[in-house]
Amino acid sequence: MSQIINIEDPEQIQQTYPEFIFQEIQLNKDEYIVKASRKHWIVFRSAFLVGFFIPFVTIFMAMFISTPFLHMPKLIADKLSIGFMYASPIFFFFGVFMFLWELFLWYRTFYLVTSQRLIKVEQQTLFSSKTHQMYLDKVQDAICKISGFEALLYGYGDISIQGSSETAQIEFKKVGYPKKMQKIIASVAGKVVRTNQD
């Protein structure tokens, strides 16, 4: 999955992203997409752990408990083993549901840097989404925050864009290649790059 897409031809965005994006966003005259990004694939990690890793562990525990190595009473061992075996498909189907839900949110949440604005469209629930935008001439600062070893290892972070008023702020959360995105935002807005790493 490509997290950041270079858009040089203003019409190329029509082929890159589905039509629903342009139902959410109307580009102004002479406005074009400079950069488009979605969240990093790390958002799917919890669903993967619940749907695949935990079922693997429960199956392993069911097999391990039933071995004579533990010297556990047979009745207790059988009940525990059956319990773990029943738990495995429950975790699997719950993990699949989590993955599909995260995929839906990921698919319909995106960040755009245009020649005139910063735009964030965030899907919050099944039927609810929120759109934030800030014109480039209102941008005061763009701060990239990479928190922790995991974010550094997998290459994702948050970008906070501060507007001309104290309450005006847009945050691009868990975006891939955050420093690259920050430099693009700073470049089109004519600002100095700042990076925070915890």
DSSP 4-19: EEE--STTHHHHHS-T
Q: What is the span of the domain harbouring residue 13?
A: 4-39+112-197
How far from each other are the two terminal CA atoms of the chain, in whole angstroms? 27
Residue with tokens 């799917």: 44
Does 143 share its domain with 62? no
pLDDT digits (tens, 9 = 90+) for 134-179: 999 888 888 999 988 999 999 999 999 988 776 678 999 999 999 9
pLDDT of 48 over the 70 cut: yes
- What contacts 130, CB < 8 A, 6 or more positions away? 121, 122, 124
- What confidence score (pLDDT) does residue 167 get? 65
- What confidence score (pLDDT) does residue 4 get? 44
Domain end (from 57, 77, 104)? 104
Q: Quick one: average pLDDT of 58-84?
A: 82
Higher pLDDT, 191 or 78: 78
Percentage of residues of the chain with pLDDT beyond 70: 82
Does 177 share its domain with 82? no
Residue type, 81: S
Contact call for residues 193 and 167 (beta carbons, < 8 A): no
CA distance 76 to 9: 67
Does 34 share its domain with 126? yes
Does 80 share its domain with 143? no
User: What is the chain's alpha carbon radius of gyration, rounded to the nearest angstrom?
Assistant: 23
Does 162 share its domain with 71? no
**Number of domains making up the chain:** 2
Does 131 share its domain with 164? yes
Predicted TM-score (pTM) of the model is 0.78
Does 11 share its domain with 56? no
